[in-house]
Chains A and B, each alone.
Chain A
């Protein structure tokens, strides 16, 4: 089942609205590479945030390094601001097990001590393995264990649900 761009646009607007209600004055936004950055770029524009967008490559904070080694794709993390005492909107495309979020939080805290972190996820799907939940969600999905949702982009954005063998 492929989601049309139209639906994704709808979800993004919902997210922007929800975020608008809970953020305080000048939050930072950090997208998790790669899908999270595509989503964050759009949200960053919609919310007209002043500070540049940060992007996080959590490759070095993953918990599965001893099993699968380094991820082949490596764009460096780039946080062109100080996180110290700031409110941060952390953006990812899919919230599934929660391990990516754990890695992202660990990485952000190695840059400094934020005041608050708000999690925004385009898709929140079933299968949580760690106690994380998103503050702002575009769409909830209930999927089987062998189903995976994948975002492609950056233009156009499209969702695909794959079933693994």
Chain B
């Protein structure tokens, strides 16, 4: 369908674009910015006056719970939720059940996503077989099946020799390794950050060193293996120092932060609020402030939702017995725009870390609005005030720690390959 999005403020950090112009779409691709192709007659017009028109968001980590945990959420429900949040590309972690360590599971997920047709889903394959940290997964086969990277999800690889081999093999296959850094021994039975609140609440703590020691271990290894390494969900300021230094050295590392960690800290746990039970744990105010700064300076490359939808029971228990993870697809964009309003980031940077930068990490052609690019577009009303309410969350997971928060900025339309997957025609 030939579509034109009129009068919107087109913001495309990949091309350093920020101007009011019309956007022309045909056969699922962008065919013109400002000026349409000769003789273009639109079949569909979307009015975008006073709106921001940007590339559809690229989310480096959202759990879709299929296969294996359909009682929590499904690919259909979560991609629809993603669409309502302006997210058009999602990477999913391999910790499904069964694990994404075969091409069959990869293909299953791709199929379900195509069927739902609300967002593009890219799998991260397993780094080790079954995520057990003992033997290597068939990474090349996973790459052929369409995986855009490999990861060991939350599972710690205890044996450093195995980690080294896995990194070397991933480099051989030219796959980016998405690494969640947490030393299993130091983590022990911890559930929150080891600090002032863990003492006060009597909850076992996860010390900062669980992350920093694991980060330094990986950095020293990739100095030897030249693996492309992406650090998932950095939570502490100390880790940022090490990542900054590694980048200066010229190591091929990138890093992301979960949206929750840019707002919440250990203090938000005060009422034993299980919605704030996340992994990595929420740390100190200083860590949060440094994470925000790191986005502005480029030490952190991307914001992801780290969306983890849960059923009610998973969070309705004494804190230590609840499952970690927050539902954040619905609030990713609005909370990111809030950072712009609070002058933590400028609009270009905020959108860059949600579009082109994560797209590059995932190695996918997305997150930009150049001529000929797939028409994955997000239209935002930046002034629209709304309140995140549990009942009206689009995700099947109602475990959102931001319910009750007043937000400014909401998606009015999302287009996937030129088709409206969220919103109405004006």
Query: Touching in the complex, A and B, CB below 8 A?
Result: no
